[in-house]
Amino acid sequence: MLDLTYDSPKIKTIAGAQHDWELVIGMEVHAQVASNAKLFSGASTQFGSEPNSNVSFVDAAMPGMLPVINEYCIEQAVRTGLGLKAEINLKSAFDRKNYFYPDLPQGYQISQLYHPIVGEGEVLVEMGDGTARNVRVERIHMEQDAGKSIHDMDPNMSFVDVNRTGVCLMEIVSKPDIRGPEEAAAYLTKLRQILRYLGTCNGDMQSGAMRADVNVSICLPGQYEKYQATQDFSHLGTRCEIKNMNSMRFIQQAIMVEAARQIKIVEGGGTVDQETRLYDPDKGETRSMRSKEEAHDYRYFPDPDLLPLEIEQAWVDDIEANLPELPDAKKSRFINDFGLTDYDASVLTAELESADYFEQVAQGRDGKASANWVINELFGR
């Protein structure tokens, strides 16, 4: 396999009235597990069904209904962790996260706060200019999705669709390693690519199968290096979370808008409040949604209906042995075996279907000529 080496990309700086500022970004990506059934019930996960038609007694929180873990969802989370070169925790546990929304029938969400199924991993984020950043993944935990409140069907009433309630999500939490809006979009693109190769999430952002919460803070040059040396977050600015982003373009816009807002506050002598915000692309602004909750605000406690989850190392090893070839390995092989440029290999491996088609075309033919035909003729048409 050809060893690909990269320089680190330049850190995004923003000129304020008094100082230059650097961006520090972390992301919490919610990826819907590709499974026909929900995490704790046999109800369908099919998107686009009639409202409230994919709902079991467990999803609707009927009295006495007990959750039963869907083993396939566990397998998909383990497969994802292995694809991100992450530590797989053989012992994990589910907790109740208590909060009250109209579209959350139980009044709590079953999640994993203290003992997630997947530990630390990494994602190599290539920027397309010969640079790349290694973004560390802190953890992946599993949780139920909530339902959906619909506000545009009636001027006086809101409607609730709980089809999505109980669908299995993987929350993929990165370290604050992303240093600019383009890197944030590239990270999400690469993560989506890996999940699609693994078959663990379809990556459809329009249907909400993949969405991101983006944590943004600012710091003076040199402060991030102090954080890296000490792991002391006091060297970084107060972060604000921009909730439920499902567009690469809007993510980049929102990061710059939020950074500018924070710079204005700090240079004006104020302090940034840690909070959850929403991005309004029409107005080009972020606005406050709620103060950022801490773990104690949700009154987490171990779910009394679910035993701790224990899996065997042999089972994990079997999943790992059957992983598909992942994007970085496939790209490296295309460069090595077919004599492709880094750019051509990147284009051809962006989607698994394109990579597979190219390999069929290139059988018995010149690799570079085949790549030119697929990229320029086929894709162009």
For 31-81, the pLDDT digits (tens) are 999 999 999 999 999 999 999 999 999 999 999 999 999 999 999 999 999
Which spans in 44-87 are helix H? 71-83
* Residues 93, 357: Cα–Cα separation, whole Å: 42
Q: What is the pLDDT of residue 292?
A: 65
Is residue 213 domain-shared with residue 350, that is, in the same domain? no
Write down which residue in 321, 339, 358 finishes a domain. Answer: 321
pLDDT, position 191: 98
Residue numbers of the domain that contains 361:
327-378
Q: Three-class SS of residue 284?
A: coil
Domain C-terminal end among 275, 303, 321 = 321
CA distance 314 to 99: 38
Give yes or no: residues 304 and 180 share one domain. Answer: yes
| Strand ranges (E), the chain | 13-15, 20-32, 91-92, 95-98, 108-111, 121-126, 132-144, 148-150, 159-161, 168-174, 210-219, 240-245, 275-280, 285-291, 301-302, 309-310
Q: What pLDDT was estimated at residue 73?
A: 98
Residue 207 contacts residue 240 (beta carbons within 8 Å): no
**Do 237 and 291 lie in a common domain?**
yes
Query: Does residue 295 sit in the same domain as residue 246?
Result: yes
Judge whether 251 lies within some domain.
yes
349 and 243 inside one domain: no
6 part of a folded domain: no
Question: Does 84 map to a domain?
Answer: yes
The answer on 363 and 312 residing in a single domain is no
Q: What are the backbone dihedrals phi and psi of residue 224, each rounded to the nearest 5 degrees, phi first?
A: -65, -40
For residue 95, tell me if it sits in a domain: yes
Residues with pLDDT less than 70, the chain: 1-5, 292-293, 295
This prediction has a pTM of 0.94
Cα pseudo-dihedral 257, 229, 137, 4, rounded to 10: 100
Q: Is residue 211 part of a domain?
A: yes
The total domain count for the chain is: 2
> What's 323's DSSP letter?
P
Cβ atoms 237, 24 nearer than 8 A = yes
For residue 255, give the H/E element and its range: helix 248-267
On whether both 145 and 249 belong to a single domain, the answer is yes
d(CA 38, CA 46): 10
In DSSP terms, 133 is beta-bridged to 125
Determine the pLDDT at residue 3.
47
Q: Answer yes or no: do 200 and 60 share one domain.
A: yes
pLDDT of residue 101: 86
Q: 349 and 267: one domain?
A: no
Q: Is residue 8 part of a domain?
A: no
Q: What is the pLDDT of residue 291?
A: 73
Residue 5 inside a domain? The answer is no
3 in any annotated domain? no
Q: Indicate the residue among 321, 350, 367 that finishes a domain.
A: 321
Pair 316, 344 in one domain = no
One domain for residues 304 and 351: no
Query: What H or E segment, with its residue span, contains residue 318?
Result: helix 313-321
Q: Which two tokens stand for residue 271?
A: 């302090």
Query: 332 and 260: one domain?
Result: no
Q: What whole-number distance in Å separates Cα of residue 45 and Cα of residue 120?
A: 29
